[in-house]
Structure 1
Amino acid sequence: MTQKLGPYQLLSRLGAGGFGVVHLALDPEGRTVAVKVLHPHVTADSGALARLAREVETMRLVGGPHVAEVLDASLDVAEPYLVTRYVQGRPLSAVPTPVAELRLLASGLADALLAMHEAGVVHRDLKPANVMMAEGEPVVIDFGIASALDSLSVTASGAVVGTPGYLAPEVLEGKESGMAADVFSFGATLAYAATGRQPYGQGPASAVAYRVVHHDADLEGAPDWLAPLLHECLAIDPAARPTAAQICARLGVEAVPRAHHASLPPAATALRSRPGETHDLETREWRPGQERHRPPVEESRARHRESVRRRWLIGSGLFVALLAAAARGPLPEVALFLLAAYALVAVIDAGVALLSRGLFRLFRTSRIIYDFAAMLGAVGLCLGLSTFFSTFTLALFAGTALVVGIVFLLSA
Structure 2
Amino acid sequence: MVAPDGERLGPYRLLSRLGAGGFGEVHLALDPEGRTVAVKILHPHVAADATALTRLAREVETMRLVRGPHVAEVLDASLDGARPYLVTRYVQGRPLSEVVGADGPVAGDDLVRLARGLAEAVAAVHAAGVVHRDLKPANVILSDGEPVVIDFGIACALDSPSVTASGAVLGTPGYLAPEVLEGTGSGAEADVFAFGATLAYASTARHPYGTGPASAIGYRVVHHPPDLEGVPGWLEPLLRECLLRDPAARPDAGALPARLGAAPVVGPPRPRAVVENGMHGLTTREWRPGDRPRPQKGRPTLEEARERRRVVLHRRWVVGTGLLVSLMAATAREPLPEVALLLLTGYGSAMLVDAGIALFARGDRGRTILDLSAGAGAVALWAALSAFFSTITLALALGTVVFVLVGILVAS
**TM-score, scaled relative to structure 1:** 0.62
- 1:44 and 2:48 equivalent? yes
Which amino acid in 1 is paired with 2:159?
D
Deviation string, structure 1 residues 41-92 (Cα, Å, up to 9, x no partner): 0011111110000000000000000000000000001100000000000000
For structure 2, list consecutive stretches of 5 or more residues without a partner in the other structure. 264-301, 317-366, 375-412
> 1:19-168, aligned counterparts within 5 Å?
19-95=23-99, 96-100=103-107, 101-168=110-177
- The whole-number CA distance in structure 1 between the counterparts of 2:83 and 2:220 is 39
C-alpha deviation, 1:177, in angstroms? 2.0
In the TM superposition, what is the alpha-carbon distance from 1:247 to its structure 2 partner? 1.4
CA distance in 2, matches of 1:58, 1:204: 35
- Provide the residue aligned with 1:342 in structure 2: none
Alpha-carbon distance between aligned partners in 2 of 1:165 and 1:307, rounded to the nearest angstrom: 44
Equivalent in 230, 249, 257 of residue 239 of structure 2: 230
Question: How much does 1:93 deviate?
Answer: 0.2
**Aligned with 1:13: secondary structure?**
strand
Identify the residue that residue 180 of structure 1 maps to in structure 2: 189
CA contact (8 A) 2:120 2:256 kept: no
Alignment partners' CA distance in 1, 2:152 and 2:6: 28
Q: Is the 8 A contact 2:133 2:186 kept in 1?
A: no
Shift of 1:176: 1.9
User: What is the identity, as a one-letter code, of the residue corresponding to 1:97?
Assistant: G
SS in 1 for 2:168: coil
Counterpart contact for 2:64–2:75, Cα < 8 Å = yes
Q: Deviations over 1:16-50 (max 9, x none)?
A: 00000000000000000000000000011111110
- Distance in 2 between residues matched to 1:240 and 1:151, nearest whole Å: 29
Whole-Å Cα distance in 1 between the matches of residues 240 and 122 of structure 2? Answer: 17
Partner SS state of residue 13, structure 2: strand
Q: Give the distance between the partners of 1:231 and 1:11, measured in 2 at CA.
A: 43
Residue 218 of structure 1 is matched in structure 2 by 227
CA distance in 2, matches of 1:123, 1:171: 13
Runs of 4+ in 1 over 4 A off after TM superposition: none
The aligned counterpart of 2:210 is 201
Compare CA radii of gyration and give the structure with the larger one.
2
1:3 to 4, 7, 14: 7
For 2:169, the aligned partner's letter is: V
Report the Cα distance in structure 1 between the residues aligned to 2:151 and 2:145, rounded to whole angstroms: 19
CA distance in 1, matches of 2:29, 2:148: 19
Q: Which residue of 1 aligns with 2:399?
A: none
Q: Secondary structure at the match of 1:36?
A: strand
> What's the CA shift for 1:307?
5.7
Letter in 2 for 1:109: L
- Aligned residue type for 2:183: G
| Partner Cα separation in structure 2 for residue 138 and residue 160 of structure 1 | 24
Q: 1:246 deviation in Å? A: 1.6
**Contact 1:37-1:82 at 8 Å conserved across structures:** yes
- Separation in structure 2 between the aligned mates of residue 173 and residue 78 of structure 1, nearest angstrom: 35
* Amino acid corresponding to residue 162 of structure 1 in structure 2: G
Q: Judging changes above 3 Å, is the alpha-carbon distance between structure 1 residues 216 and 76 closer, same or farther for their aligned structure 2 residues?
A: same
Map Cα deviations across residues 171-212 of structure 1 (whole Å, 9 max, x no partner). 011112200000000000000011110110000011001000
Contact residue 111 and residue 253 of structure 1 kept, 8 A: no
Provide the C-alpha distance between the structure 2 equivalents of 1:97 and 1:128, rounded to a whole number of angstroms: 13
Question: C-alpha distance in 1, partners of 2:58/2:182?
Answer: 26
CA distance in 2: counterparts of 1:253 and 1:213, whole angstroms: 31
Query: Is the CA contact (8 Å cut-off) linking 2:26 and 2:41 kept in structure 1?
Result: yes
Give the distance between the partners of 2:75 and 2:219, measured in 1 at CA. 38
Q: Which structure carries more relative contact order (alpha carbon 8 Å, separation 6+)?
A: 1
Identity %: 74
CA contact (8 A) 1:107 1:253 kept: no
Query: Residues 233 and 242 of structure 1 are in contact (CA less than 8 Å); yes or no, is this contact kept in structure 2?
Result: yes
Aligned-partner residue type, residue 135 of structure 1: D
1:293-372 pair list within 5 angstroms: none
